[in-house]
Amino acid sequence: MSGRIRLMGLLLTASLASCAPRADTADTGVTLRFWALGREGEVVKDLIPEFERRNPGIRVDVQQIPFLNAHEKLLTACVGGVTPDLAQVGNTWIPELANLEAIARLDEQVSRSSVIAQMDYFPGIWDTNVVDGFVRGIPWYVDTRLLFYRTDLLAAAGFPEPPRTWSQWLEAMRRVKSRGGPGRFAILLPVDEHEQPVILGRELGAGLLRDGDRYGDFRSPAFRQAAGFYVGLFRSGLAPAWSNSQIVSVYQQFAAGDYAFYITGPWNVGEFRRRLPADMQDKWKTAPMPAPDNSRDWPGVSVAGGASLVLFRASRHPEEVWKLIEFLSAPAMQVRFHELTGDLPSRATSWASPSLAGDPQTAAFRAQLERVVPAPKVPEWEEITVQIWQSLEPAIRGRTTVDAALTDLDKRVDRILAKRRQVLERRRPHG
Amino acid sequence: MADPRRRSIPSEVRAAWLFVGPGLAIIFLFFLLPIAAALLLSLTDFDLYAVADWRNLRLVGFENYSHLLRDRLFWQAMRNTFYFVLVGGPLTVMVSLAAALMIQSKLTRFPGIFRTAFFAPAVTTLVAIAAVWRYLYHPQFGLLNHALGWFGIAPIDWLGDTRWAMPAIILLSIWKNFGANMIILAAGLQSIPESLYEAARLEGAGWWRQLRDVTLPMLAPTFLFVAVMTCIGYFQLFAEPFVLTRQGEPLNSTLSVALLMYKEGFRFWHMGYAAAVAFILFLVILAATTLQVRLAKGREA
Amino acid sequence: MKKPLTSLLLHAALIAGAVLTLLPLVWMIMASLMPTGEASSEPPPFFPSHVTFDHYRELFVHLNIGRVLFNSALLAVSVTVLSVLLNAMAGYAFAKLRFPGRGKIFGFLLGALVLPAQVAILPLFLLMRQLGLVGSYWGVILPGMATIFGIFLVRQYALSIPDELLDAARIDGASEVRIFAEIILPLCRPVLVTLAIFTFLGTWNDFFWPLVVLADDAKYTLPVALANLFGEHVQDTELMMAGSVLTVMPVLLLFLFLQRHYVQGLLMGGLKE
């Protein structure tokens, strides 16, 4: 046969050989595939050698995935049948993954575990991982949103302490705005984010969805009031109608006093410390969310965000994965992780450590975490959040009324949930 | 050409199927079959629920299509895509034609070098190039605004301003694609007989009249080919907004139909709905191509 | 008749055009050699203040780009070898072997050229899932192993092979396979080289499908890895440009050396419409 054919045959064989699936660690032991997201993905690699030392025979292969398309990638992997052994996932994604039966129930492991004690976790946070009564993930670090504010601007406006109720808050904002003048605002609320209206709605006790989470409930009196309050902040000039892509630099503008309040999460503690000039560092502070006026409790509730560790059902090494989850969930490990990333631990015990207990900026988070509620646990929640801000934006810009916007929102959400209703109907036992 | 009177011999037929078989099988299985399946898929409400349990799948007839036609986002995607095709297409072809005319000119020395330079963008990876242009378009540090500054033009927020985002993508596409079309047009120019130009010059025709009366008519079939191929390609606009403007930003001003299909299909996993979007795209491309060819043939008559 | 002014203007326009066209690519190389942060200074510089290979080092040492380069090359070579073979076989058969339905099938294939590949993406993904090929290189290789355009290209070229040559070989007792291997393939070398370059380029640059099918970052190809890098390091201009250089340079150099064949291929495709 001609040399050409032989050459082609060689190339073919070479390509085929390289496509053969790689076996697990050839000698002994097990390799776990761990998908970690964003910065946490980089940092967790530093913690792995310790785990491997304590558990000879287990190797962990960490794949770092940018946050930007992590959600897509996870779902693609689930649909395609190529999930890793375990992954760090945003806790709002857990209902979706549970619905696909892609992630395992962990109740049994939790009850047997000496490291993971449910009691030690913030209740609102633990709750985000429970779907249909079963535990589907272990909270790793937490995230919630609260006020970051300029202490000096507030003090000058007659507020040495941060506001604790909505009316105090509104008054503070008005005073700051009038002192600031044109071109300055009281609060930054990016119009393409859903967290703020959702938080305000939750504070008033809005359910957001009704009837077993099968219909939109954005026209409820509670949410209506919250949306009115929210849109009112823009209309009265207290907040600029900017989207995230229009904001030049959050940090520069905060330092310049363009706004005095900003509702954001724990990662910004580190960012503010890094990016604000040195003379600004004693002029900002965090504070829990103000509570609505007639509320008995303080602070006002906020969202229960954060990331969890999940075990995929297709994994062939569930015991080893559980060992890794326990390792990362040990309070000491959580503290170390916090020191490396600034992320807040999900366990109360971890908060007792000096690095956290002594930090004045994280104290507000500690208080807030006692009062967090999960998002509605429907697989469609991610999609619904997009609709929330997209429906409110025209109202913010004065192109429609709040009532019309909420009617539109309910209509869209009802349609998104149509499939869910059918599936639940089908599952319901007849007779 | 094989003798048409010769009847096919069994061994030849067997060999033919052996040769044609693998290729046809691949094309059928991984191209034609999925396209047919897309049509079927668009008549269902296939989504993640169905992935979990196939019994959750329902046949919904044309419901996906009717919802599509009432969806504001879909019409915005269509507007954006048509904006891109109707502005970017002709611009690209014009630039290609100008470049082709220049390198084919008898006056030009070293046409090969220029041809290589103009063609280089066409072989580059779009993702890599989009990354480069993302920085070139930076409002503060980008070279483009810097250059505009020399002419006294204020910096433009190319990728952040809803008015300028699509033009930014159009510019990128022209840059990337004009080379390929240029080569084809140049070949077409080369095949025009010199005698026709001679005859025109004898009649006293100057450069412009030669272009209008000889070049363009003779180039028409090649031009049509280039126009149709560009059009088909441009309707499928996807990678540029995906990488350059972070999937349709700002505020969906660069959301194309293909990008919408990707988002619905691979982000929200409304696969039946996404298949309907894909099919509408196909019909639009088919209609546009037919229209173009029909018009051209009509002019010929 | 000499037209010095026109010639001057023409060349000026050509040079300006060439400079503008190559500018982004040259800047890409320049920026990749700049020290970190220099590209984001005002006014934006064009030349690096001093050349540094730090970013390339970072890519190779920490971000494993060597592996990714290898993946891209491996995939591109595999698809090219396999698809050139299959397309050549089919193209030859359509040109020279008589079999029932040949004309109709070919006509149908030509018509199918209008179908946009994007319509097939979702069902193809679901099909790959059924076959268990998601996350495997085969998921990327298989769909690319034969293309209508490739078959068309070979067929057009093979038509020009004289029948007498084939008949003579058959009379001599050669099998069809031998004829293909020893007569057709050598004669078709020009179009096969063109096709190989086309296919290699297409596979190297392919973004969307590998993005969807390849889950494991050990298997990423350059465009996918680059997009991933973008997600994390969008602030690091110089690093991103180094990544772009590594993605673009191999194929650009390939093109420079094999220009003639590539251009020829485009012409053959273009003039047939």
Q: What is the pLDDT of residues C16-64, one digit of tens each?
A: 999 999 999 999 999 899 888 777 777 778 888 888 888 898 888 878 8
Residues A350, A353, A355: CA angle, nearest 5 degrees? 115
Put simply, the chain A residues between 35 and 74 with a CB less than 8 A from any chain C CB are 38, 63-69, 73
Distance CA A96, CA A139 (A): 16
Distance CA B284, CA B29 (A): 25
Q: Which residues of C touch B271 (CB under 8 A)?
A: 122, 126
Nearest-CA neighbor of B233 among B151, B164, B178? B178
Q: Do A84 and A35 contact (CB within 8 A), yes or no? A: yes
Put simply, the chain A residues between 252 and 291 with a CB less than 8 A from any chain C CB are none
* Closest CA of chain C from A131, distance in Å: 27
* Residue A425 CB neighbour total at 10 angstroms: 10
* Closest CA of chain C from B31, distance in Å: 6
Distance CA A70, CA A54 (A): 30
* Closest CA of chain C from A337, distance in Å: 20
Torsion, Cα A273 A278 A282 A286, to 10 degrees, reads: -20
Whole-number Cα distances in Å, C214 to A80, A175, C74: 10, 55, 14
Q: Do A217 and A207 contact (CB within 8 A), yes or no? A: yes
C101: left (phi > 0), else alpha (psi -120 to 50), else beta?
left
Distance CA B283, CA B275 (A): 12
Distance CA C89, CA C63 (A): 41
User: Is residue C269 predicted with pLDDT exceeding 60?
Assistant: no
Inter-chain CB proximity B107 and C243 less than 8 Å: no
Handedness of CA A175, A179, A183, A186 (dihedral sign): negative
Burial A383-410 (b: 16+ CB within 10 A, else e): bbbebbbbbbbebbeeebebeebbbbbb
Q: Do C215 and A80 contact (CB within 8 A), yes or no? A: yes
A305-311 and A134-135: which strand pairing? unpaired
Q: Nearest Cβ partner of B249 from A72, A99, A245?
A: A245
Nearest-CA neighbor of B236 among B221, B208, B258, B264? B258
Residue of chain C whose alpha carbon sits nearest to that of A65? C228
Distance CA A38, CA C232 (A): 7
Q: Nearest Cβ partner of A383 from B52, B251, B268?
A: B268
Instruction: Determine the average pLDDT of the residues in C159-163.
Output: 86
Distance CA B19, CA B24 (A): 9
Count of residues making up chain B: 301
Inter-chain CB proximity C180 and B222 less than 8 Å: no
Low-confidence stretches of chain B (pLDDT beneath 70): 1-9, 246-251, 299-301
Whole-number Cα distances in Å, A212 to A98, A207, A226, A303, A420: 17, 10, 22, 20, 11
Q: Do A73 and A80 contact (CB within 8 A), yes or no? A: no
Structure tokens given for C131: 């076959």
Inter-chain CB proximity A2 and C181 less than 8 Å: yes
Q: Do B30 and B38 contact (CB within 8 A), yes or no? A: no
pLDDT of residue C235: 73
B→A contacts (Cβ < 8 Å), by residue, are 45, 47-49, 51-52, 55-56, 58, 160, 249-251, 266-269
Count of alpha carbons within 13 angstroms of residue A276, beta-carbon side? 21
pLDDT of residue B112: 83
Distance CA C221, CA B199 (A): 55
Q: Nearest Cβ partner of A80 from C77, C78, C134?
A: C134
pLDDT of residue A389: 92
Helix (H) / strand (E) containing B153: none
Distance CA A105, CA A89 (A): 15
Distance CA C189, CA B251 (A): 51
Which chains have 3+ CB pairs within 8 A of C?
Answer: A, B
Distance CA C21, CA B102 (A): 15
Distance CA A235, CA A225 (A): 15
C273 touches chain B (CB under 8 A): yes
Local structure of A121: helix, strand or coil: strand
Whole-number Cα distances in Å, B255 to B89, B251, B260: 17, 9, 7
Distance CA A29, CA B45 (A): 44
Q: Which residues of B touch A426 (CB under 8 A)?
A: 55-56
Structure tokens given for C256: 């420079």
* Closest CA of chain B from A234, distance in Å: 19
pLDDT of residue A5: 53
Torsion, Cα B174 B176 B177 B179, to 10 degrees, reads: 110
Residue with tokens 């502005």: B87
Inter-chain CB proximity A101 and B52 less than 8 Å: yes
Phi, psi torsion values for B41, nearest 5 degrees: -60, -35
Which chains have 3+ CB pairs within 8 A of A?
Answer: B, C
Distance CA A388, CA A206 (A): 14
Structure tokens given for A425: 């109907």
Q: Any residues with CB less than 8 A from the CB of C148 and at least 6 apart, and which?
A: B27, B31, C109, C110, C112, C113
Residue of chain B whose alpha carbon sits nearest to that of C85? B23
DSSP code of residue A87: E
A86-90 and A305-311: which strand pairing? antiparallel
Inter-chain CB proximity A72 and B267 less than 8 Å: yes
A214 touches chain B (CB under 8 A): no
C162 touches chain B (CB under 8 A): no
Q: Which residues of B touch C28 (CB under 8 A)?
A: 128, 132
A243 touches chain B (CB under 8 A): yes
Inter-chain CB proximity A12 and C138 less than 8 Å: no
Three-state helix/strand/coil letters over C124-191: HHHHHHHHCCCCCHHHHHHHHCCCHHHHHHHHHHHCCCCHHHHHHHHHCCCCHHHHHHHHHHHHCHHH
Distance CA B56, CA A427 (A): 10
pTM for the full model? 0.83
Q: Nearest Cβ partner of C136 from A19, A33, A73?
A: A19
- Chain CA centroid to CA B111, Å: 27
Distance CA C99, CA B13 (A): 5
- Secondary structure (DSSP) of A221-251: HHHHHHHHHHHHHHHTTSS----GGG-S-HH
A17 touches chain C (CB under 8 A): no
Whole-number Cα distances in Å, C19 to B98, B136, B169, C5, C27: 16, 15, 20, 21, 11
Distance CA B26, CA A114 (A): 55
- What's the complex ipTM? 0.84
| Cβ contacts of C167-175, under 8 Å, gap ≥ 24 | none
Inter-chain CB proximity B45 and A419 less than 8 Å: yes
In order along its 431 residues, chain A shows pLDDT tens digits of: 445 555 555 555 555 544 444 444 445 689 999 999 988 888 899 999 999 999 999 999 999 888 877 888 899 899 888 899 999 999 999 999 998 899 999 999 999 998 888 889 998 899 999 998 999 999 999 989 999 999 999 999 999 999 999 999 999 999 999 998 888 899 999 988 999 999 999 999 998 999 888 999 999 999 999 999 999 999 999 998 887 767 767 888 898 888 999 999 888 888 888 888 888 888 999 999 999 988 888 898 999 889 999 999 999 999 999 999 999 999 989 998 888 887 899 988 888 888 888 888 888 998 999 899 999 999 899 889 989 998 999 999 888 999 999 999 999 999 889 888 988 888 776 53
Cis ω for the linkage preceding A182 (within 30 of 0): no
Q: What is the pLDDT of residues C206-258, one digit of tens each?
A: 988 998 898 787 889 999 888 888 777 777 888 889 999 999 998 888 888 88
Q: Do B41 and B272 contact (CB within 8 A), yes or no? A: yes
**Which amino acid appears at position B171 of this protein?**
L
